[in-house]
Structure 1
Amino acid sequence: MGHKLLTLFFTLICTSGLYAVFLVPSQNPVAVGSNVTISVNDTQPIIIGLWLFESSTLFAWYSEDVFTGSGHQNGTEFDISTYQLTLPSVTLKNSGLYALDALRPKARAVITLDVQEPVSNLTAFVSMTNLVELNDTVTFTCSASGTPLWFSWQNGNSTVTAGGRVELRNGGRDFIINGVTRYDEGPFKCLVANNISKRESHQMNLNISYGPSNLRVTASPEKSVYISGSVISLSCSADSKPTATFYWMYNGNPLNVYGPSYDLRDTTQNRTGEYTCVAQNAVTLRHVAVTKKIDILDPISAVVVNPAGSPVEGMAFNLNCNVVGPVNSIHWMKNGIYLDADNMITFSNDNSTLRFNRLTLSDDGPYQCVASNAVSNMTSLAYNLMVNYGPNNTAASGSKVAAVGSNATFSCSSDSRPQSQYSWYFSGLNVKNGSVYVTTPLSKNDSGQYTCMAFNSITGRSGNASVTLTVYAPVIDVVVNMDNQQPIFNQPFTLTCTVSGDVQHIQWMKNGVNLNHDNRINFTNNDSVLNFNPLTLSDNGQYQCEASNAINNRTSLAFDLKVIYGPWNTTISGPTVGAIEHNVTFNCSANSYPPSQYSWFLNSSKVGEGPVFTRALSLDSGGRYTCMASNNITGHSSNASLELTLRYPVSHVIVNAGNQQPVFNQSFTLTCTANGDVEHIQWMKNGMFLHPHNGITFSNNNSTLSFQNINLSDDGYYQCEASNAVSNMTSLAYDLMVNYGPWNTTVEGPIMAEMGSNVTFNCTAISRPHSQYSWFHNNSKVGDGPVHVTAALSLNSSGHYTCMAFNNITGRSSNASLELTVIEPIATVDVIPDRTIPLASQIFHLTCNVKGPYNTLHWLRNNQNLHPSDRVTFSADNAIVTFKTLQTADDGRYQCVASNALKQHVSRPYDLTVIFGPQSVQIIVRPGIPPILTCLAVSQPPAVYHWIFENNTVVGNQSSVELPIKSILGSNYTCVAKNPLTNVTVYTSQVVSYPNAAVSVQACVMLTALLALLLPVLEEWL
């Protein structure tokens, strides 16, 4: 036990650093009897720690060893894997401060646990339950067990608060209501709670008597006045507990009616009065009364409007309103709108009489009277007032003119009520009674004045009106004619209008527009004759005459006047040049009416008729063509002529070059050939007209195109167009492509190659057409074509390679050459070390082994050129690299590069890793619980280790070893480091003691004496 104590406190004092840790209880506050766990939120291992309750220790532990402290309680458990503390079945004594002290790593966390006793033994009661409103006071009392306790009260769902009539005493245990009201009946309950539980009491209700109050009497239906015969239900209600009792009185006298309702049936006006309801409460001994006034009235049964006399315009008139039943008021309406008295109408006899002082037509309309009282109103049927008047504005209408043999109709009208009676008079005689008069068939003797008389039998008034009639014979058979005349230009001409019937007026029209006289046109014989002197072309048109009188008019059919003239302005149209064996067409025209007749003449010989002349041309068809136009009515004629020249048409137009070839910088000729009468030749290049310029000329009437020295810019499509007056033709395009070359002959390919390889040579030349190629090696032909690939090369393949390019059109050739040198190849390049294991501080050689001729050698280290130094030297031919004393700085990737005249050959890489060690072997002490010894050595490859304790016991085969606590001081440990490749082994030892231990270990040893003095106290604590 003492050794564990020593180790524990040795570690506590020597541990440094602090980290955060938190405690989490399973519940807090917690009920008595519950199990509680206090967990640690951090997962970092705690090597040394304590659990404390208040100032006493519950548990202490070091690594896996757990110690029970003086404050430990039966059943308290500690889990070393999670550091969780478990308190079973807690009591009030378990309340307090719990602390976790971690000493390695350094940390501290505390929590206060609150153990509480649940609420129990709840009782509640009320002082009394049957109460009278505003008279009584009540007290509620509540008690319970538990710690701590909080008391509250609820009324229904509302929390009770002190104030006004409510008091809360004794920490809320007592609840008092002073002067209870009807709203204090509850239900009430007591609520008791603490942090871990709550309870509530049973519900308590109060029975509170009150009233009667708010007494109300209602009538159904509710009205200010009731009509006789109504059924009226009176109802009485009051707020009261227990329910109030009711009885009724009428005008202060009891009715011997009990209960909250009273029905009035078969009501009459004498039942009007005050009805009182009285309510009583047998418990509160209170009573109250309320009165309601009921008015009953008989309704109006009949309303009638009666007239006094007949309504005549300008006379006085009365309407009377007769009513059956009690009447409060009478009103008059016209057209549904109430009437007010003015200077034209007045009311009398309590508005029952409506008087019109002087009737006018605006008084027409439906009149009603409205009689009313408090329970009814009634409107009379409408009396439709229609004021009698007239006749006024008597008017007669009808025909003022009429045709002989027709009937005339006359109508008479007047403003009158009732309708007037009508009579018709002619020459003082009554010819018809009634408003409409239709005559018999008329003669001219029936012309004269017709009079109508209108009479009203009610007003006794009459009125007259007249119409004057004139009878005519109608206009018929209107015709325009010209007799036997011909309307010839610039001669006189006459049109005549003939008519039957009474004609009052004749009007002439041209093209539907009235015609007026001027200096050439006039009218004679009462406008029946239209005279032209003389005729012009502007007189052409549709002519009509219109004859009219008062009853009708007639218009003649149109006379189509066309002035005869011509021929004038004879013209001939057609070509002046014609193509032999082709048709020619001539057109002749002249201004003439009717149209002219045409005759055709060639050199005075008649050859055809009609306005169009067509013929096929032959050699004798040339000459003067004449057209003669004639008018057989005017007897006039007119001539026109045209001269025709004959030509053969152009055909078969061709561009050719003969047997020439267009060769660069030589002369060249194109010729245009054509059949027919060629008058003009035009050359084109690429669709554009070509004109002579430097080096290009035309000859032989432009039929020959000559190039003095043709060049490449003359390439293109050439055409010639041959034409004359009657035709033209363009040749097909001649595609001129100038032949040239070969020029700029070049050969491409290598000038050096290794023996056994193949070489490709390419030859090019600028030429049209493409050149033909031949290859020569030292003047011996070896192939054809633009590309030459040699066979596998030998040393004899060196020499002069020539390409000849030849154009078989231009007959020219061109050469190009290239000199090829064939050398022996480098077969292999290898780096060879002089030994398998390159040991540090020893001499070492790398040799470059090359098969095949080469020019130079050089070395690479890590892809960088390697240069000689005081430790690294090269042989004279650079084939050997010598390291005088190998060092780790020489590690790297080495390659040899052999070069000939053609290319470089690089060897495969040789990776040099210098082997050494073990060196600088040392032991490092790492203080801790437990302490750790680590052995370090510099070695390539890395050393392997094992440990020896006190010269005889192997205690480990890794680079580090943990020291047992009991052997931490004064022990000898030996580290053995071995190079697995060279088998070189190095030993080093370490005695773990005060002088050479780590600083933290030394500090711990210095406190040993102090710990010994404290041993008795520590043992008591543990």
Structure 2
Amino acid sequence: MALIAFSLLLLLSVKSGFSAGEKVLPDGPLDVLLGKDLTINLLRPTGKDDIITWNYKGSTSIGTVRPGAVTITDQYKGRASINVTDGSLTLKSIKSEDSGDYNVVIIGLTTTIPAEVKIRVLEPVSDVMIKSDLPEAIEYNSTVVLTCTSKGSILSFTWTNDSKSIPSDDKRFTVQSSVIKLTITGVQRYDLVGPIVCTAANPLQKESSAKFNLTTYYGPEAVTIKASSQGKYVPSNSDFNLTCSASSKPAATFTWFHNAEQIEASGPVLTLKVIEEKGFGHTMGNYRCVAKNDKTQRKVPSTNVEFSVMVSETISKSLNHRNSILIAGNSSANLTCQAVRGNVTDRVWLKDGKPLSPDSHVKFSSDSTSIYIDVLKKEDNGDYYTCEASNEVTGKSTKSLPLSVTVKVKLKKIDEGLSDGAIAGIVIGCLVAVGAAIALFFYCRGKIPVSSPY
């Protein structure tokens, strides 16, 4: 019956010349939180003789204002009131079932004006939470899906990372289901440090979740190895060590290698004491560390550090040649320089105090531990050959050796009848002729045969 009456009022309003452009109620929907009060105001003044009727969904009467009196139906008594002055409707402690269309009809002396507005009762926003499908993430490997849950109605969601909005780029960051879900593909270490916050909102209020972050494991990377001192030779029993570092979460563990062989040691520092105890360092070799992340299962090696361990004592050398008697024109000499104690990293040969270089007459071994003099000459007699042996730890040590070259001379045949004095005179003459060389004489059958001269 009320619906028929409202329809008749609409018809009367048309006949009475009501303009459709004249606004009576605000634009809807009008939102109100569950349990709150709502007042619907009229946008046009009413006359003192106007009759104002409010209905719910066009069929349920709420109340009527007549000149000097207000009537509220039993269903709305205690919950609704109509202002007798301006005709506004107030609903108290709104319930969910109060959502819907509200109609008003203003009946004047010459006009009848109907109007309608929609009311939405919103459940308050509460219990906003972020949940992750993974308890932890591995950088570049994991795809993380965050879900924002909340109580409330007519909700929208926004995501922020450290107060900055997280946009959906449809590549790494994807927003799904009206922003309830945030998907991060190929997660990186800073993506979830946050704090990540989800904010749920309706047209009247908003509420944010607790700050959220998710541990993302990464590394190792930037693996570096550092020696406590520079140089390719390290004094034995010194406080030398190698230190390995890496960027990694969790902290990396380290293994150590000498060339391709693993050293039984762990930790970021490898001391020289351990190196020597494990039997390494006697020869030049490469040392490196390998960092491992137990979460990511990644292993990354460092660069190599090359060095050898030196015995920290002064070099003591022996310098000798293999031939006991050196004959000019027939003999060659092999001089060897060896360390009795200490390590030698460099050898320099000198002849009579001047640097000696290899040539067609003098040849050097590949490591310069020995020199070979091919076919000695009488000019080689008396030369001093010096070996300077050194290392970076104890400096250098020198040792010299004079070279004695024997010259064979040939004398003319001497009659057996020559006196001893005559023979002595000839020998003195030979010594003068060959200078400081040594003359060897051999007697055979009463004659003095001598080999061919040089």
TM-score w.r.t. structure 1 length? 0.25
Corresponding position of 1:877: 386
Q: Which among 727, 741, 748 is matched to residue 226 of structure 2?
A: 748
Matches within 5 A, 1:944-959: none
> In 1, distance between residues paired with 2:394 and 2:157?
73
Give the superposition deviation at 1:759: 1.5
State whether residues 590 and 596 of structure 1, in contact with CA within 8 Å, keep that contact through their aligned partners in structure 2: no
Q: Secondary structure at 2:41's aligned position in 1?
A: strand
Query: Are residue 604 (structure 1) and residue 64 (structure 2) matched?
Result: no
State whether residues 126 and 207 of structure 2, in contact with CA within 8 Å, keep that contact through their aligned partners in structure 1: yes
Give the superposition deviation at 1:716: 5.6
Amino acid at match of 1:605: I
State whether residues 570 and 639 of structure 1, in contact with CA within 8 Å, keep that contact through their aligned partners in structure 2: no
- CA 1:640 to 1:712, structure 2 compared with 1: closer, same or farther past 3 Å? same
Give the superposition deviation at 1:822: 1.5
Corresponding position of 2:310: 823
> In 1, distance between residues paired with 2:168 and 2:343?
72
Amino acid at match of 1:771: A
Q: Secondary structure at 1:669's aligned position in 2?
A: strand
Moved more, 659-668 or 596-605: 596-605
Corresponding position of 1:672: 148
Corresponding position of 2:119: 644
- CA 1:803 to 1:678, structure 2 compared with 1: closer, same or farther past 3 Å? farther
> In 1, distance between residues paired with 2:52 and 2:92?
16
Of structures 1 and 2, the one with the larger relative CO (CA 8 A, separation 6+) is 2
Query: Are residue 572 (structure 1) and residue 55 (structure 2) matched?
Result: no
State whether residues 683 and 720 of structure 1, in contact with CA within 8 Å, keep that contact through their aligned partners in structure 2: yes
State whether residues 234 and 393 of structure 2, in contact with CA within 8 Å, keep that contact through their aligned partners in structure 1: no
Corresponding position of 1:68: none
Query: Highest Rg: 1 or 2?
Result: 1
Give the superposition deviation at 1:697: 3.2
Corresponding position of 1:581: 35
Query: Are residue 772 (structure 1) and residue 247 (structure 2) matched?
Result: no
Corresponding position of 1:618: 95
- CA 1:587 to 1:826, structure 2 compared with 1: closer, same or farther past 3 Å? same
Q: Deviations over 1:844-866 (max 9, x none)?
A: xxxxxx9854445779xxxxxx9
> In 2, distance between residues paired with 1:583 and 1:797?
86
Amino acid at match of 1:608: S
> In 2, distance between residues paired with 1:720 and 1:874?
93
> In 2, distance between residues paired with 1:595 and 1:773?
94
Q: Secondary structure at 2:245's aligned position in 1?
A: strand
Q: Which among 661, 670, 682 is matched to residue 136 of structure 2?
A: 661
Structure 1 runs not aligned, ≥5 long: 1-568, 830-849, 860-865, 880-897, 908-1022
State whether residues 652 and 675 of structure 1, in contact with CA within 8 Å, keep that contact through their aligned partners in structure 2: yes
Q: Which among 352, 374, 395 is matched to residue 905 of structure 1?
A: 395
- CA 1:601 to 1:794, structure 2 compared with 1: closer, same or farther past 3 Å? closer
Give the superposition deviation at 1:735: 3.5
Give the superposition deviation at 1:664: 2.1
Structure 2 runs not aligned, ≥5 long: 1-21, 64-79, 317-339, 357-381, 398-454
Give the superposition deviation at 1:758: 1.9
- CA 1:696 to 1:605, structure 2 compared with 1: closer, same or farther past 3 Å? same
Amino acid at match of 1:654: M
> In 2, distance between residues paired with 1:868 and 1:811?
58
> In 1, distance between residues paired with 2:214 and 2:256?
32
State whether residues 310 and 393 of structure 2, in contact with CA within 8 Å, keep that contact through their aligned partners in structure 1: no
> In 1, distance between residues paired with 2:198 and 2:211?
8
- CA 1:582 to 1:805, structure 2 compared with 1: closer, same or farther past 3 Å? farther
> In 2, distance between residues paired with 1:696 and 1:720?
15
Matches within 5 A, 1:331-480: none
- CA 1:652 to 1:874, structure 2 compared with 1: closer, same or farther past 3 Å? farther
Amino acid at match of 1:905: G
- CA 1:759 to 1:706, structure 2 compared with 1: closer, same or farther past 3 Å? same
Corresponding position of 2:292: 806
Corresponding position of 2:441: none
Q: Deviations over 1:137-169 (max 9, x none)?
A: xxxxxxxxxxxxxxxxxxxxxxxxxxxxxxxxx
Structure with greater strand percent: 1
Q: Secondary structure at 1:781's aligned position in 2?
A: strand
Amino acid at match of 1:899: S
State whether residues 763 and 787 of structure 1, in contact with CA within 8 Å, keep that contact through their aligned partners in structure 2: yes
> In 2, distance between residues paired with 1:773 and 1:628?
84
Corresponding position of 1:781: 264
State whether residues 754 and 793 of structure 1, in contact with CA within 8 Å, keep that contact through their aligned partners in structure 2: no
> In 1, distance between residues paired with 2:103 and 2:355?
122
Corresponding position of 1:591: 45
Corresponding position of 1:27: none
> In 2, distance between residues paired with 1:904 and 1:596?
118
Amino acid at match of 1:782: A
Amino acid at match of 1:769: P
Give the superposition deviation at 1:685: 4.4
Amino acid at match of 1:788: L
State whether residues 315 and 343 of structure 2, in contact with CA within 8 Å, keep that contact through their aligned partners in structure 1: no
Amino acid at match of 2:198: C
Taking only aligned residues, the RMSD between alpha carbons, in angstroms, comes to 4.4
Q: Which among 165, 185, 207 is matched to residue 729 of structure 1?
A: 207
State whether residues 135 and 214 of structure 2, in contact with CA within 8 Å, keep that contact through their aligned partners in structure 1: no
Give the superposition deviation at 1:672: 1.8
Q: Secondary structure at 1:810's aligned position in 2?
A: coil
Query: Are residue 690 (structure 1) and residue 174 (structure 2) matched?
Result: no
Q: Deviations over 1:370-413 (max 9, x none)?
A: xxxxxxxxxxxxxxxxxxxxxxxxxxxxxxxxxxxxxxxxxxxx
State whether residues 824 and 853 of structure 1, in contact with CA within 8 Å, keep that contact through their aligned partners in structure 2: yes
- CA 1:855 to 1:625, structure 2 compared with 1: closer, same or farther past 3 Å? closer
Q: Deviations over 1:519-547 (max 9, x none)?
A: xxxxxxxxxxxxxxxxxxxxxxxxxxxxx
Q: Secondary structure at 2:92's aligned position in 1?
A: strand
State whether residues 801 and 818 of structure 1, in contact with CA within 8 Å, keep that contact through their aligned partners in structure 2: yes
Matches within 5 A, 1:143-222: none
Give the superposition deviation at 1:812: 3.0
Matches within 5 A, 1:216-255: none
- CA 1:609 to 1:723, structure 2 compared with 1: closer, same or farther past 3 Å? same
Q: How many residues align?
A: 289
State whether residues 136 and 215 of structure 2, in contact with CA within 8 Å, keep that contact through their aligned partners in structure 1: no
State whether residues 657 and 671 of structure 1, in contact with CA within 8 Å, keep that contact through their aligned partners in structure 2: yes
Q: Deviations over 1:206-233 (max 9, x none)?
A: xxxxxxxxxxxxxxxxxxxxxxxxxxxx
State whether residues 129 and 210 of structure 2, in contact with CA within 8 Å, keep that contact through their aligned partners in structure 1: yes
TM-score w.r.t. structure 2 length? 0.51
- CA 1:857 to 1:806, structure 2 compared with 1: closer, same or farther past 3 Å? closer
- CA 1:595 to 1:828, structure 2 compared with 1: closer, same or farther past 3 Å? farther
Matches within 5 A, 1:710-721: 710-711=187-188, 714=191, 717=194, 718-721=196-199
Amino acid at match of 1:624: D
> In 1, distance between residues paired with 2:47 and 2:289?
94
> In 2, distance between residues paired with 1:874 and 1:756?
41
Q: Secondary structure at 1:620's aligned position in 2?
A: helix
State whether residues 760 and 789 of structure 1, in contact with CA within 8 Å, keep that contact through their aligned partners in structure 2: yes
Amino acid at match of 1:741: G
Give the superposition deviation at 1:761: 0.6
Give the superposition deviation at 1:763: 0.8
Q: Secondary structure at 1:588's aligned position in 2?
A: coil
Corresponding position of 2:13: none
- CA 1:659 to 1:737, structure 2 compared with 1: closer, same or farther past 3 Å? closer
> In 1, distance between residues paired with 2:212 and 2:49?
56
Give the superposition deviation at 1:813: 3.3
- CA 1:659 to 1:758, structure 2 compared with 1: closer, same or farther past 3 Å? same
Query: Are residue 762 (structure 1) and residue 249 (structure 2) matched?
Result: no
